[in-house]
Each structure stands twice: as structure tokens, then as C-alpha cells.
Amino acid sequence: MRLPEVFSSTNFAVSIEIFPPKTEEGDGALRRHMEALAEYKPAFMSCTYGAGGSTRDRTISWCREIQEDFKRPSMAHFTCVGSTREELNTWLDQASAAGIQNIMALRGDPPQGQETFKPVDGGLAYANELVELIQSHPAEFGIGVAGYPEKHLEAPNMDIDLQNLKRKVDAGGDAIFTQLFFVNDNFFRFRDQCEKVGITVPIVPGIMPITDFARIKRITSMCGTDFPSDLAAKLESVRDDTEAQFEVGVEFAIEQCRQLRANGVSGIHFYALNKSQACQKILESL
């Protein structure tokens, strides 16, 4: 099922994101977590592409497994990093042959050792160009694009960031999936801003349940995400208690998701970090 059909068939589409593990042990553990999450019948499950496209083949194989073994639609992440147009089209051929119907189109982060993103000769520089390339491919894919409620770190200001987002949507993006955030008002403001510039596709909030405060601090520092001071204080007070951190983080995510759903979001995209327990508790509450 392609993204347009996903969002036309329901008023609330839950999706779950995984990443390819690095070991066979990790593969086995992920399958057990995915089996638990598949019980909730998410609208689809997505798989990331890896830094610099390092897991491009594994992304396809995991998406195939999502479809064949877990009986859910899949969405494969796809970036411009390190690839020519010809190589990108070859990967799309492989994705189509594997039965993948949805692509998350991303520019991708600069390769390790580079401060700024530079396309390879014959490659692409921007995500909207990648969306255009996917649209021109003979296979018919649903296309997701990324949105940033608190602005992409590289964008000079929010107005320019919104213009860049609109380019991706106008090029053929079917739905927007946001960067993680912890302040819902920032998402609601972003949604209003998108409407004002003429963006009408579904805007799906991205939620990452907090299960490890140290890890979340690293992630939020890299992407410039606002972090509520009262939540930080609660987590800091139980920093030596892993189970307590989990409970505080999950309870916050439950309330965050309830408020988002009450305010008419098209769905929620969970960054599960290859674990099932937090998402299970949140989905049970919803």
C-alpha cells in the first residue's frame, strides 16, 4: 500500500521506524521486537538507510522481511549521499523488484569527515531533486519527506526551511514525517506555518520515547531539539535508575501522543530504536 492510500484509508496512521542491526545477534533481537510491534498492526514500518548509504542493501532486505514475514507495508529510507543518478536509479530498480512501494526521500547527512554536504559528480545536492528522480522512475512509489518543527540546523531561518520543505512536497512528496520533538506547541506552530505556505499533505509527528536519558541528550544536542526543563529535571533525578528513566520517559510520551491525537494529527511515526517495550506501552494507552 502506497502512502496516499495509507492516509486516505484511515484518519490515524501509526508507523514504526527501525534500523538495520550490525550483527546477527542484533538481527534476532530486532525480529523479536518487530513481532511484538506487528501485533498492533501499524499502517507501515520503515527502515533507515544508514550513514552514507552504508546499509542500502540491508535496507531493502529488511523492508522485504517487513512485508513477507510481518505482513505490513514497508517504507525504505533513501538518500543522495555518495551516489550518482545512475546508481540511485539502480537502487530504485532493486527496491521495486523487492515489492517496496514507499520511499522516504532524504538528502542525508554529510559523510564522516565532511562538515558540509557535497554531492558526488553526477549526484544530487538536495532532497527535492531526489523526490523528482523517484517520481520519474517507472515504478510508482509513495514518497515521504522530512520536516523540522524546530528548523533544520543548516537552514538560516524558518521561512527558508519552509520554502525548502514546500519544494519537496511540490516535487511529489506525499506525506511529511517530522524530526523528533518534545514540545507539542512547536509542532502545532509548524503545522500552521505549513498550511500558510500552501502545504496540504499529511504532516506526521515523529516521536522518540525516552528510555535512556544520556542517549536522548546526545540525539537532541545533534539536532537542536528543545527539551522541556521540567522533564529534564525528572530524568536527572533518576539518572542512576534505568527502570525509572523508562517510566518517566514513556509516561511523558503517552501524554504527548494523547495531546497530538486530540489535536487531529494524521498519525504518529515512532522512532523505536529497535526496541518494542516503550512503543507497546504507548500503543496500549492509545
Q: pLDDT tens string for the chain (286 positions)?
A: 999 999 999 999 999 999 999 999 999 999 999 999 999 999 999 999 876 555 778 999 999 999 999 999 999 999 998 899 999 999 999 999 999 999 999 998 766 667 677 788 889 999 999 999 999 999 999 999 999 999 999 999 999 999 999 999 999 999 999 999 999 999 999 999 999 999 999 999 999 999 998 888 898 888 889 999 999 999 999 999 999 999 999 999 999 999 999 999 999 999 999 999 999 999 999 8
Q: What is the DSSP letter of 87?
A: H
Q: Which of 55, 244, 79, 61 is nearest to 145 (CA)?
A: 79
What confidence score (pLDDT) does residue 223 get? 85
- Which cell numbers in the block locate residue 273? 530504536
In whole angstroms, what separates CA 12 from the centre of its chain? 16
Distance, in Å, from the CA atom of 245 to the CA atom of 238, rounded to the nearest integer, reads 6
Beta bridge pairs of residue 14: 268
- C-alpha 238/C-alpha 126 separation (Å) is 42
Phi first, then psi: what are they for 264, rounded to 5°?
75, 30
Please answer whether residues 65 and 98 qualify as being in contact, where contact means their C-beta atoms are separated by less than 8 angstroms. Answer: no
Phi-psi region of 41 (alpha: psi -120 to 50; beta: other; left: phi over 0): left
> pTM value?
0.95
Cα separation of 254 and 286, whole Å? 8
Say what the pLDDT of residue 54 is: 59
Q: Give the model's pLDDT for residue 282.
A: 97
Give the pLDDT confidence score for residue 52 in this predicted structure: 58
Q: Are 274 and 62 in contact (CB under 8 A)?
A: no
> Which cell goes with 157?
531561518
Catalytic residues: 17
pLDDT at residue 51 in the model: 62
Residue 113 has a pLDDT of 66
Block residue for cell numbers 507497546: 280
Listed in sequence order, the DSSP H helices in 127-177 are 127-136, 158-170
Q: How many whole angstroms from its chain centre is CA 234?
A: 27
Cell of 101: 512501494
DSSP 51: G
User: CB–CB of 14/279 below 8 Å?
Assistant: no
Domains and CATH numbers, the chain: 3-211+257-277 (3.20.20.220)
Q: Which helix (H) or strand (E) holds 62?
A: helix 56-68
The three cell numbers of residue 266 are 494524521
CA atoms of 211 and 249, how far apart (whole Å)? 6
- The CB-side HSE value for 108 (13 A sphere, CA atoms) comes to 29
Nearest Cα to 6, choosing from 269, 283, 256, 237?
269
